[in-house]
Amino acid sequence: MRARLVAGNWKMHGGLAANQALLDAIVAGVEGVECAVCVPFPYLAQGRERLRGTPIALAAQTLSEHASGAFTGEVSGAMLAEFGCRYVLVGHSERRQLYGETDQQVAAKFAAARAAGLSPILCVGETLAERDAGRTEAVVARQLEAVLDRSGFEDAVLAYEPVWAIGTGRNASPQQAQAVHAFLRARVGTEARILYGGSVKPANAPELFAQPDVDGGLIGGASRVAQDFIAICAAAKRKG
């Protein structure tokens, strides 16, 4: 049986005092499910110190496809590993849309993460225009195949992010999420974990996580509200 995973993506939010309070609450409140927090680069040291010796995993939000070199402002996989990161997001929709990351660049970052001993969380998903055009499967397949053509998927996690359901007021139904997860599972196999990342909240988490191919969540805004994130993690616990 696949182990559930709930990963909180703080995006470009946080501060030393607020982070400490949030991490303290997560450590005290999350149990019975694997959990990771994706913190901004400046707070990796704080995360490492607070999470040391706890079951909560430290994660980063992106990495460079390069191992080292004259790439001002970039951070390598080896640097993240040295700070104790276990996971790193790769190909998040905001990186693709705002910073122009291509499928090929995402595939290179995925390979760089694995080479550094990190477990990449590969994000795939379609926009509203692509969904309305009936292109959901074609888009997520293209994004995934770019990675599979270059790398295996061992020690990696897949996250389905319907871009049209993030911060728009439109939510994917559990059935819509399950349909895409089942499509993706046919390509990555029964052992791979596939997370859902479309505006998961305490109210919709139980039904989403009840779907057979949904193995947890990639949580955005709710990951910065301790009681919400803890409730989502509780919903991810497998019953029976």
Contact between residue 143 and residue 137 where contact means Cβ atoms under 8 Å apart = no
Q: Which amino acid is located at 149 in the chain? A: D
Indicate if 13 belongs to the active site: no
Q: Report helix, strand or coil for 36.
A: strand
Instruction: Considering the candidates 92, 94, 126, 181, report the single residue annotated as catalytic.
Output: 92
Residues in a beta bridge with 123: 159
Go through 98-128 and write b for each residue having 16 or more CB atoms within 10 A of its CB, e for each that does not: eeebebebbbbbbbbbbebebbbbbbbbbbe
One DSSP character per residue, 191-233 reads: SSEEEE-S---TTTHHHHHTSTT--EEEESGGGGSHHHHHHHH
What token pair was written down for 236?
A: 């991810």
Burial class (CB in 10 A: 0-12, 13-18, 19+), 81: middle
| Beta-carbon count within 10 A of 45 CB | 12
Indicate if 207 belongs to the active site: no
Distances (CA, A) of 238 to 103, 149, 201, 207, 218: 33, 33, 18, 12, 17
Instruction: Considering the candidates 34, 65, 101, 161, report the single residue annotated as catalytic.
Output: 161
What token pair was written down for 161?
A: 């992010």
Tell me the backbone φ, ψ of residue 108, rounded to 5 degrees.
Answer: -70, -40
Which residues participate in catalysis according to the annotation? 92, 161
